[in-house]
């Protein structure tokens, strides 16, 4: 996948977070049909995971829950048009705590969403989101997600001072994420990135991400700052 595509799909700390795409590849349906459907929750500004799925020929619903736009921003729609996949993408405003479908999707995905929903709330909010996702998946369907984890004390200090920790973002432990997905038949994950989140711009994050992939590859999994997971219903 070319660098420009990866940037449009991932957006931030591409060197590290793009590894999630490689990990998820083995969980995609081996044979896609015209009935294969996917949902991206919390599409954010770029609708990147919708782009990734549509580039693979999968009909995808790009959704967010933002009062400023219906499902996706104008920038996300422009990016989808840029790659010629708009005919495979529809846009909806969907609240992840109240998904209005049951057994509809083969794939549901999100990136860095759950912590923003929960923030300083309790785990019941996160459990509600996962329950809604589980209900919206077809039997045998797969949830693919990437979420920021609590990582180390250094990450906590830096996030609280310079990043989303200032706004009360929730960073989950690996044990919490395991618990949240216990109702699925299988749940697998990998963790990535130690230095990458400390960069103040993408050029620095690329340099630090390259160090993560060449030098810091054998750290304890709980030291890495995000988790890529796949849960099969």
24-48, pLDDT tens digit by residue?
Answer: 999 998 877 778 999 999 997 789 9
Cβ–Cβ under 8 Å, residues 158 and 103: no
Positions of E strands within 78-177: 89-93, 105-111, 137-148
Cβ–Cβ under 8 Å, residues 77 and 91: yes
Q: Is the pTM of this model over 0.85?
A: yes
What is residue 233's three-state secondary structure? Answer: coil
The count of domains in the chain is 1
Query: Residue 63: which CATH number?
Result: 3.40.50.150
Please say whether the dihedral angle defined by the alpha carbons of residues 100, 96, 13 and 179, taken in this order, is positive or negative. Answer: negative
Upper half-sphere CA count for residue 181 (Cβ side, 13 Å): 22
Distance CA 159, CA 82 (A): 34
Two tokens at 198? 């400390």
Domain that holds residue 120: 3-232
DSSP per-residue string spanning 195-222 = SGGG-SSHHHHHHHHHHHHHTSSSS-GG
Two tokens at 153? 């004390």
Give me the tens of pLDDT residue by residue for the chain, a chain 233 residues long. 788 999 999 998 999 999 999 999 999 988 777 789 999 999 977 899 999 999 999 999 999 888 777 778 889 999 999 999 999 999 999 999 999 999 999 999 999 999 999 998 899 999 999 999 999 999 999 999 999 999 999 999 999 887 766 678 999 999 999 999 999 999 999 999 999 999 989 999 999 999 999 999 999 999 999 999 999 99
Query: How much is the pLDDT for 163?
Result: 77
């Amino acid at each position: 996948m070319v660098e420009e595509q990866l940037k449009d799909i991932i957006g931030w700390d591409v060197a590290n977070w793009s590894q999630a795409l490689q990990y998820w590849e083995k969980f995609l349906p081996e044979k896609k049909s015209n009935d294969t459907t996917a949902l991206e929750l919390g599409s954010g500004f770029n609708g990147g995971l919708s782009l990734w799925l549509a580039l693979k020929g999968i009909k995808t619903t790009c959704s967010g829950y933002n009062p400023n736009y219906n499902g996706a921003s104008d920038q996300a729609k422009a990016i989808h048009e840029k790659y010629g996949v708009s005919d495979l993408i529809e846009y909806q405003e969907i609240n992840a705590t109240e998904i209005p479908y049951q057994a509809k999707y083969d794939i549901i995905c999100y990136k860095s969403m759950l912590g923003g929903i929960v923030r300083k709330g309790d785990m019941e909010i996160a459990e509600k989101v996962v329950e809604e996702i589980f209900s919206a998946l077809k039997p045998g369907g797969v949830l693919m997600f990437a979420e920021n984890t609590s990582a180390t004390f250094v990450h906590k200090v830096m996030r609280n001072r310079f990043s989303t920790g200032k706004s009360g973002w929730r960073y989950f432990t690996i044990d919490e994420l395991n618990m949240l997905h216990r109702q699925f038949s299988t749940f697998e994950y990998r963790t990535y990135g130690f230095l990458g989140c400390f960069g103040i711009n993408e050029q620095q994050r690329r340099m630090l991400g390259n160090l993560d992939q060449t030098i810091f590859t054998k750290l304890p999994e709980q030291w890495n700052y995000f988790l890529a997971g796949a849960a099969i219903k």
